[in-house]
Amino acid sequence: MHLTQSAIGQSTLAELYRSDLAYGIGLVVIWELLVTLVALWMVPVLLAAASAAGPLPVDAAVIGAEA
């Protein structure tokens, strides 16, 4: 009887570990998908904001230094 209870206890621990691992991996996958979607959403938003702002002002000293 003791061996049966021990085997059941080990099985439960292994199942808990597997479920914890699967839960952790699931959280990481969901987080990565969320970050990727936000990044993909931000690209056109940032490009639109940059084009609406117009060209950056260039200092005359910078133009003189490059020439």
- pLDDT (tens digit, 9 = 90+) per residue, 22-32? 888 889 999 99
Sequence-ordered alpha helix ranges (H) in the chain:
2-53, 60-66
Q: pTM for this one?
A: 0.49
- Domain count for the chain, please give it: 1
What integer pLDDT is reported at residue 13 of this predicted model? 66
Q: Is the dihedral of CA 40, 42, 45, 48 positive or negative?
A: negative
| pLDDT band, residue 1 (cuts 50/70/90) | very low
Q: Which domain holds residue 48?
A: 2-66
pLDDT at 51 over 80: yes
Residue 60 to residue 53: CA distance in whole angstroms: 20
